[in-house]
Amino acid sequence: MFTYSAEINREGQYIFVQGGIGLLRNVDETAEGLDFVADLQVYSRTRIITNFIPQLEAVSGIRRVVSVSTGTSEGEIDFDDFQLLNGGGIGKQRAHNSSIISLANIYFVENSPIISFVHDYPGHVKSGISRGTTGVLKAAFLVINALGSLLFFKPEQESGAQHLYYLTSACYKAKEGVEESVPLGEGVATARGVDGVSGSGVYSCDADNEEASDKVEKV
């Protein structure tokens, strides 16, 4: 990783910080009693971004956060069951968590308008989501991974290029300040934010880089 990074930018300084996100089973339970899924999808994500904001505000180049989850799936939030402990199905969970992530990004921009935030859905990609599964579920993932690579998984290079675009293009500019981002190409406009305002600094995108619909803006 260090060698590859140095090839891209020889003047950069790279520090590897080992985190324990993948080893939550070895972490003491919190007094708050947070749900495991909600903790991973919402609270940990928000906490990590919060901790990085001072560093992002201090840089002179592009200040941007790309949050990979389920962009453009924002929907109703269940305030009576905020952690969805009572279930409700994948669709409800997807809409609920997506909205919380995008609303958190709106909050971040209000306090740090020189940073832009992109909440995206990567589409069907081969990942480590099956780690730790056993039995029937593990077998199902093995079949999906085998067939997915042939039938519907997005190529890794394409997914990487897509997220590099989110990170560097002036299309997803911050609300305020000047960025050293990649200029817009001919016929490409600044993206519309989740609030319906072009260049608002808070964006939600689907697997094809398309912006959130009017329905999401109303949510």
d(CA 48, CA 125) in angstroms, rounded, equals: 23
Q: Would you write out the chain's pLDDT as a tens digit for each of its 219 residues?
A: 667 667 767 777 777 766 555 544 444 455 667 777 777 788 889 999 999 999 999 988 889 999 999 899 999 989 888 888 887 788 888 899 999 999 999 999 999 999 999 999 988 777 766 666 677 777 776 777 666 665 667 788 888 899 999 999 999 999 998 888 889 988 889 999 999 999 999 999 998 888 888 777 776
15 neighbors 1 (Cβ within 8 angstroms): no
Strand order in the sheet with 64-68: 64-68, 116-120, 202-205
pLDDT for the residue 90: 81
Residue type, 42: V
pLDDT at site 84: 82
Full-model pTM: 0.76
74/144 Cα distance (integer angstroms): 26
Look-up of token digits 């001072």: 54
- Contact between 116 and 66 under an 8 Å Cβ cutoff? The reply is no
